[in-house]
Amino acid sequence: MAQLRMIWKNDGVRPCELVFPDGVELKTLPEIEGGVDAWLDIVGYMESTHTDFTGNYDYYHKVMTANKDYDENKCFFLLVDKKPVATISVLCDYETKNGYLHMLSSLPECRGKGLGKLLFAVAINTLKREGMQTAFLTTDDWRIPALKTYLKTGWQPDLTSQPDYPERWQKIYDIINGGKRMKTVKDKYLVVGADFAGYPLKEAVVAHLKEKGWKITDLGVTADSDPDDTENMFHRVGLRVGAQISEGNFERALLFCGTGMGIHIAASKCPHVHAGVVESVPAALRAITGNGVNVLAMGAFYVAPSMGCDIADAYLNAELGSGYEWWYNFYEFHKLAIDELEAFDYEKYKANGFKMEHLGDYPLKLEKKPE
């Protein structure tokens, strides 16, 4: 059975700055004494189930040096306390501008500690620096943690190269999230919710969006809701909608209550929710372009129906960084903030003396848009 194949496309964003934890170093194969032996030791834990794995230099030659695009200076290792524990190789075809990620492996005791994700980021940076426009990798169906990382970092399944790929990928989605695929803005899917105060504004915005072809799932007050149903209190609606983001069912949501405040606070209690409340089109645009808000709330006491429709259009037709390509580091700076907030763990933050563990750093200064 052929391995699964995944595809990456260069988004044009500059390579990110990586921060390595204390005791962790990045080196290439020539920089490590006995580099090939270290490579065989690490790869052996992943490849020993393959019938062609021999654990000697012949195997290294067969899968690495025999490839015309292999460069030992792009065979990377992460070392923990001077010991090589993980490796990945980046192969670059400079004629076609196609890259290939090869032999991502780590020692068992180092899995689940974020090292594979860090090494993967090193590889993506290398692809960008070398000018690759597209890249590929192959992997096995059973490598679920790795597949999750690939999907989260923008790699897309190849569903066409083999006739059994669609069925195999569906089984993987079944394992990852119960077979449910995220309903995305690109495909015009949206989840909404309102309490009784926000209901009139929600109805106006939903009617407007449906005319434009949006497919709406409403988890709050509807026309036939019982006014005495306490399940439709603002915070309970906010939690219901926020959970849809947490579970990966929807990419974005709209919420409505009297002020937008209470319902967005409730949604923010759900993991992976980045919520904001706005009352104008410029604020809605900045909420998504600068803060990557995936749940946007409005208040019916302060936002007129026509303004609510304009806010929804602006929000749903933009994404992180869009419209700010002229501003140096705008996307990188704000993406870093989102990533650090997504990774935030209060107990770790407290134990670290209330200091944030940086995932990177990008300089940013105020700039005026060119005429």
CA distance 162 to 230: 52
Note whether 113 and 48 are same-domain residues.
yes
User: For the residues of 228-258, what is the DSSP string, one character each?
Assistant: T-GGGSHHHHHHHHHHHHHTTSBS-EEEEES
Query: Residue holding tokens 């899917």?
Result: 189
CA distance 84 to 273: 37
CA distance 186 to 253: 13
Note whether 84 and 199 are same-domain residues.
no
3-class secondary-structure state, position 156: strand
Residue 183 domain-assigned (yes or no): no
In this structure, of 113-117, 217-221, 300-304, the range with the lowest mean pLDDT score is 113-117
Q: Pick the catalytic residue from 75, 257, 270, 309.
A: 257
- A 10 A CB-CB count for 90 gives 25
Query: Residue holding tokens 């993980």?
Result: 86
3-class secondary-structure state, position 24: strand
Q: What is the CA radius of gyration of the chain?
A: 24
257 catalytic residue (yes or no)? yes
Domain count, the chain: 3
Per residue in 52-64, pLDDT (tens digit) is 566 678 889 988 9
In contact, 18 and 118? CB cutoff 8 Å: yes
What's the pLDDT at 179? 56
Note whether 301 and 215 are same-domain residues.
yes
Q: Give the mean pLDDT of the chain.
A: 90
CA distance 216 to 193: 10
Any idea of the CA torsion for 231, 233, 235, 236, to the nearest 10 degrees? Answer: 10
pLDDT above 70: residue 178: no
3-class secondary-structure state, position 345: coil
Query: Residue holding tokens 């019916």?
Result: 300
Residue 321 domain-assigned (yes or no): no
Counting every residue, how long is the chain? 371
Note whether 22 and 102 are same-domain residues.
yes
Residue 160 domain-assigned (yes or no): no
Structure tokens that stand for 293 in this block: 């808000």
Note whether 342 and 269 are same-domain residues.
no
Note whether 131 and 195 are same-domain residues.
no
- Which among 283, 330, 290 is positioned nearest to 310, based on CA atoms? 283
What's the domain range around 351? 328-371
Note whether 198 and 309 are same-domain residues.
yes
Q: Name 157's Cβ contacts closer than 8 Å, sequence gap at least 6.
A: 4, 5, 6, 7, 151, 165, 169
Note whether 97 and 77 are same-domain residues.
yes
Note whether 260 and 290 are same-domain residues.
yes
Residue 169 domain-assigned (yes or no): no
Residue 245 domain-assigned (yes or no): yes
Structure tokens that stand for 137 in this block: 């990798």
3-class secondary-structure state, position 73: helix
pTM of the model: 0.60
Going by pLDDT thresholds of 50, 70 and 90, the confidence category of residue 51 is very low
Per residue in 77-127, pLDDT (tens digit) is 999 999 999 999 999 999 999 999 999 888 888 777 778 888 888 999 999
Residue 3 domain-assigned (yes or no): no
